[in-house]
Structure 1
Amino acid sequence: MSTASKDNGFFSKERITAPPGFNRWMIPPAALAVHLCIGQAYAFSVFNNPMTKLLGITESTAGDWDLPTLGWIFSLAIFFLGLSAAFAGKWLEEVGPRKAMFAAACCFGGGFMVAALGVQLHQIWLVYLGYGVLGGVGLGIGYVSPVSTLIKWFPDKRGMATGMAIMGFGGGAFIASPMSVALMKHFSTPTSVGVVQTFVVMGALYFCSMMIGAFAIRIPAADWKPNGWEPKANQNAMISRNHVHIDQALKTPQFWLLWWALCLNVTAGIGVLGQASVMIQESFKGAITPAAAAGFVGVMSLANMLGRFFWSSVSDYMGRKNTYSIFFVLGTALYFLVPGMGSAGNVALFVLFYCIIISMYGGSFSTVPAYLADLFGTRYVGGIHGRLLTAWAAAGIFGPTLVNYIRQYQVDHGVPAAQSYTATMYLMSGLLVVGFICNMMVRPVATRHHMGNEQAGVLSPALATK
């Protein structure tokens, strides 16, 4: 037993183990208190245009940062999200979700403060360090903290449980986008665009909200199961009743096929999310105001949030592999059609297509923990999930880089800004085709990777029948 598990202090697992009769529906709000905050990352694009005018105020001037430079803030945040999640998953199982949520609140809130200092001093490396590195670590730890907890509370509805845990991350931008615009407008002066003050206020607010989640979170007792629920044998070959150790999982082809499937799907979606505000303004030059673009970011956030709950719940009935197949087939078609909607000036279909795309982007995140639990068992799913999120870290670099630099290359060679995203969208379609192939190659994990009874120890009845 680890030192952490023997400690009866405020952050200990013993202190947050729920008593008999505890209502498990109290846990989703605690998870949302964290995920609605860290989901702000998806609204970061509303800061991009103002931060290109920190010196010029009304327009960019010599010394101002350009969009490719600013794009690395978001990329670094997602990269460190993936790296920290890979390490935090195993640590989380040892110390419990309360201590992990506290650490996430300190890192994410503190990251805003360091980024505010970087903007004030006009030192981009400080913004990278603050929001990108420190904030990214907060994102990763905060992301994985509620997921394994909710899977344990809802063994009867794995997909729905992961959807509840993760939908808040997709919906965070729905709150953050208009709030960011309103705060920058409130704090703006003839000599400031208001970014510094906005970062400080948001950092403080998010820290407080995430701490509420940390105080409220509870874990079930080791032998707990829902009243009246008995695990049943499942005839679906893709749902294993055995368990694979976290280190052994990395030796299976299933882990890496899912890694690439997630990475490719996220690369396609995250590049759009990172530049959503700028993209719609350039695609419909003069027809979309900054406020309307912020609304587009908010609507996409809502689609992201709802898609996480909808698709993960659907996967409980359709199966994870079939659900992922829909993501890739439908996503390929929509990415191919989107440029035509921009050229035709059809704002409604442009927004609709992207909302469907982003709903499936969010759905891929909320479905993958249940996919992993089906393949590798539930015992180490938190740690395996954390390691799989390195795919998100890689996609956080690939996606925005592809969108930003391909756009910049085309603009530099005379392509109108409204058409500069066409080649990128076709490329995204191609990536999704490769992702579809990876998903179709997933098969049940070979028995040689399963933990034997002598390795697994004594399993609870709920786990033994899975």
Structure 2
Amino acid sequence: MSSITEPGGNASSPSFFSKQATIAQAGFSRWMVPPAALAVHLCIGQAYAFSVFNGPLTKVIGITQSTPDDWSLTTLGWIFSLAIVCLGLSAAFAGKWLEKVGPRRTMFTAACCFGGGFIVSAIGVWTHQIALLYLGYGVIGGIGLGLGYVSPVSTLIRWFPDRRGMATGMAIMGFGGGAMIAAPLSVALMNHFKSATSIGVAETFIVLGIAYFISMSIGALAIRVPPADWKPAGWTPPVETKQKMITRNHVHIDQALKTPQFYLIWLVLFLNVTAGIGILGQASVMIQESFKDTVSAAAAAGFVGLLSLFNMGGRFVWASASDYVGRKNTYFIFFALGAVLYWLVPSFASTGNIALFVLCYCVILSMYGGGFSTVPAYLADMFGTAFVGGIHGRLLTAWAAAGVAGPVLVNYIRAYQVAHGVAKADAYTMTVHIMTVLLVIGFICNLLVKHVHDKHHMTDAQLAAAK
């Protein structure tokens, strides 16, 4: 690691994990940064495949079938919700810390938490203590999710000011695609470790924890940040217009919380995520119950992987498209088309049309993923790039809230209807109609987003002092 020269001419070697040590030197290609981001996001994207563990975890004691002492699906559903809550909270509270210490230290801390969370969860399975799964995957792993999520995104936005949507899409598509790898891998590992006395989940957790720690650590070592005032060769910042709502000014992370735009975009993200995250959390079980005796567990795992593929692809495609059509217009498409598709899904399930059922959810999940990858660019357009990492982190509390609201809507409404005699295949109808209403409300919130008032912008002196 080369040294840096401090004011006054004295050279000193910064700590390997310091922000200064990650500043790129002359000749560094910005295209080296997306692979480092993907090394982290492909790992933490495993969260979207957690539903493949739900069925086996209901048979930890019974092995072949659930017993009264085994965990229920509603009990297990809180593991995923806790992880998303801790993702949002850690991202919110670590926003300023990320800006201070840089992405390398943040990403390595994420590797320790996410990998370590699997180890703690494995102990929870062996001892049959649900509290350890809540602590391991839910809390410790959730913190790793939050730290690992925001640091590559804010770094890529700074490397690609000319293509903000594409940049965030490159990073966040990895999070959406992680389940495409994790779902079949997890099933294969559980089958490998399964025995007469074990369902194979604990052993699978150990393998995944070690593998994810190694991959995320490699990403942390490879990450770089651009020098101060760097910009791509030949690029000229766009002219600021209130119609396009792309600012050349900057809003401080604390001042952003005083604007109505922050809370409207918070609601936009919350409603878009709520409408999709509950389905992801129970995707495997949902398609098997909707098409009983038609879809096997292996096919359901394939459905989870397919959703992951569209989730991943949508993050890149929709975010890249937003560079041309605008962030606000992109969200209009998400809410309008999503509402129509959700309304149609129950009819496809009732008529046994698996193809259209799967197609609808694939498109919905592409827009769900696109919402995640478009929102950082939306924030950069509205508030500038100086503090976008911290602002994005605080906005992710919307994801934390949706991580509770979405699964609760799906799991508990389903449980209530089944308890009152509704067939399992029909138990999701009310839920998806509620999702339709949420998307209509999201459309209205997005409509109300306007340009940030000039009074919130920082002066050059304030910006220099803040840096």
Q: 1:137 aligns with which of 130, 137, 143?
A: 143
Q: Deviation of residue 448 (structure 1)? A: 1.3
Q: Does 1:49 pair with 2:72?
A: no
Structure 2: distance between partners of 1:213 and 1:166? 14
Q: Which residue of 2 aligns with 1:190?
A: 196
Equivalent AA in structure 1 for residue 311 of structure 2: N
Instruction: Give CA-to-partner distance per residue, 1:48-72, whole Å, 9 cap, x none.
Output: 0000011111111110000000000
How do residues 61-460 of structure 1 correspond to structure 2 at under 5 angstroms? 61-235=67-241, 236-457=243-464
Instruction: Give CA-to-partner distance per residue, 1:261-281, whole Å, 9 cap, x none.
Output: 110110110000000000000
Say which SS state the counterpart of residue 457 (structure 1) adopts.
helix
Change (3 A) 1:90 1:459: closer
Structure 1: distance between partners of 2:105 and 2:462? 28
Structure 1: distance between partners of 2:457 and 2:53? 48
Q: Deviation of residue 458 (structure 1)? A: 8.3
Structure 1: distance between partners of 2:238 and 2:220? 33
Moved more, 83-92 or 64-73: 83-92
Structure 2: distance between partners of 1:333 and 1:279? 20
Change (3 A) 1:398 1:30: same
Give the ranges of 4+ consecutive aligned residues of structure 1 lying more than 3 Å apart after TM superposition. Answer: 234-237
Instruction: Give CA-to-partner distance per residue, 1:211-255, whole Å, 9 cap, x none.
Output: 110111111111321122222314344111211111010111100
Structure 2: distance between partners of 1:373 and 1:251? 16
Structure 1: distance between partners of 2:13 and 2:441? 48
Equivalent AA in structure 1 for residue 376 of structure 2: P
Equivalent AA in structure 2 for residue 340 of structure 1: S
> 2:284·2:304 contact (CA, 8 Å) conserved in 1?
yes
Structure 1: distance between partners of 2:275 and 2:105? 33
> 2:278·2:410 contact (CA, 8 Å) conserved in 1?
yes
> 2:290·2:424 contact (CA, 8 Å) conserved in 1?
yes
Say which SS state the counterpart of residue 59 (structure 1) adopts.
coil
Say which SS state the counterpart of residue 50 (structure 2) adopts.
helix
Instruction: Give CA-to-partner distance per residue, 1:379-403, whole Å, 9 cap, x none.
Output: 1111000000000000000000110
Say which SS state the counterpart of residue 21 (structure 1) adopts.
coil
In structure 1, the gaps of 5 or more residues are 461-466
Superposition RMSD on alpha carbons, in Å? 1.4
Instruction: Give CA-to-partner distance per residue, 1:121-178, whole Å, 9 cap, x none.
Output: 0000010000000000000000001011001111110110010111100000000000
Q: Deviation of residue 14 (structure 1)? A: 1.7
Residues paired across the two proteins, number: 456
Structure 2: distance between partners of 1:24 and 1:253? 34
Say which SS state the counterpart of residue 326 (structure 1) adopts.
helix
Q: Which residue of 1 aligns with 2:9?
A: none
Equivalent AA in structure 1 for residue 291 of structure 2: F
Say which SS state the counterpart of residue 450 (structure 2) adopts.
coil
Equivalent AA in structure 2 for residue 363 of structure 1: G
TM (norm. structure 1) is 0.96
Q: Which residue of 1 aligns with 2:3?
A: none
Structure 2: distance between partners of 1:224 and 1:452? 20
> 2:244·2:326 contact (CA, 8 Å) conserved in 1?
no
Structure 2: distance between partners of 1:398 and 1:250? 23
Q: Which residue of 2 aligns with 1:463?
A: none
Q: Deviation of residue 318 (structure 1)? A: 0.4
Structure 1: distance between partners of 2:336 and 2:271? 13
Q: Deviation of residue 452 (structure 1)? A: 2.2
Structure 1: distance between partners of 2:191 and 2:260? 51
Q: Does 1:36 pair with 2:16?
A: no
Structure 2: distance between partners of 1:286 and 1:244? 55
Structure 2: distance between partners of 1:269 and 1:169? 15
Equivalent AA in structure 2 for residue 145 of structure 1: S
Moved more, 260-269 or 446-455: 446-455
Q: Which residue of 2 aligns with 1:464?
A: none
Equivalent AA in structure 2 for residue 133 of structure 1: V
How do residues 16-31 of structure 1 correspond to structure 2 at under 5 angstroms? 16-31=22-37
Structure 1: distance between partners of 2:379 and 2:21? 29
Q: Deviation of residue 354 (structure 1)? A: 0.2
Change (3 A) 1:319 1:75: same
Structure 1: distance between partners of 2:375 and 2:170? 13
In structure 2, the gaps of 5 or more residues are 1-5, 7-11
